[in-house]
A = this chain, B = another copy of it.
Amino acid sequence: MKIGFIGLGIMGKPMVRKLIAGGYTDVLVWNRSRPAIEACVSFGAAEATPRQIGTECDVVITMLPDSPQVKEVMLGNQGLAQYMKPGAVFVDCSSINPVVSREIYGVLQEKGVEMLDAPVSGGEPKAIDGTLSFMVGGKESVFLRLKPLLLAMGSSAVRCGEVGAGNTAKLANQIVVASNIWAVAEALTLAEKAGVDPNLVFQAIRGGLAGSAVLEAKGPMMLTGDDKPGFKVDLHIKDLNNALACAHSVGAPVPAAAAVQEILQWLHSHGYGNCDHSALIKYYSHLTEG
On A, residues with C-beta under 8 Å from B are: 98, 121-122, 133, 135, 137, 156, 158-162, 164-165, 168-169, 171-173, 175-180, 182-184, 186-191, 193-197, 200-201, 203-205, 207-215, 217, 243, 246-247, 250-257, 259, 284, 287-288
B193 near A251 with CB under 8 A, answer yes
B255 near A186 with CB under 8 A, answer yes
Interchain CA distance A173-B195 in the complex, whole Å? 16
Least Cβ distance of A160 to chain B in Å? 4
Interchain CA distance A137-B201 in the complex, whole Å? 11
B212 near A217 with CB under 8 A, answer no
Q: Which residues of B contact A133 (CB under 8 A)?
A: 204, 207-208
Q: Which of B135, B168, B196, B211 contacts A160 (CB 8 A)?
A: B196
A247 near B190 with CB under 8 A, answer yes
Taking CB as reference atom, which chain B residue is nearest A187?
A: B172
B184 near A169 with CB under 8 A, answer no
Q: Which of B122, B201, B215 contacts A168 (CB 8 A)?
A: B201
Q: Which of B190, B210, B259 contacts A246 (CB 8 A)?
A: B190
Taking CB as reference atom, which chain B residue is nearest A203?
A: B158
A190 near B284 with CB under 8 A, answer no
A158-B200, A164-B196, A213-B212 given as contacts; is B176 within 8 A of A205 (CB)? Answer: yes
A200 near B98 with CB under 8 A, answer no
Interchain CA distance A200-B173 in the complex, whole Å? 12
Interchain CA distance A214-B152 in the complex, whole Å? 32
Interchain CA distance A247-B161 in the complex, whole Å? 43
Least Cβ distance of A253 to chain B in Å? 5
A288 near B251 with CB under 8 A, answer yes
Least Cβ distance of A13 to chain B in Å? 22
Q: Which of B162, B186, B253, B257 contacts A288 (CB 8 A)?
A: B253
Least Cβ distance of A237 to chain B in Å? 16
Q: 19 other contacts beyond A168-B190, A252-B284, with CB at 8 A cut-off?
A: A137-B196, A158-B200, A164-B195, A169-B200, A171-B187, A171-B190, A173-B208, A175-B183, A177-B209, A180-B180, A186-B254, A186-B257, A190-B254, A193-B252, A194-B250, A194-B252, A195-B250, A210-B214, A251-B288
Q: Which residues of B contact A175 (CB under 8 A)?
A: 183, 186-187, 190
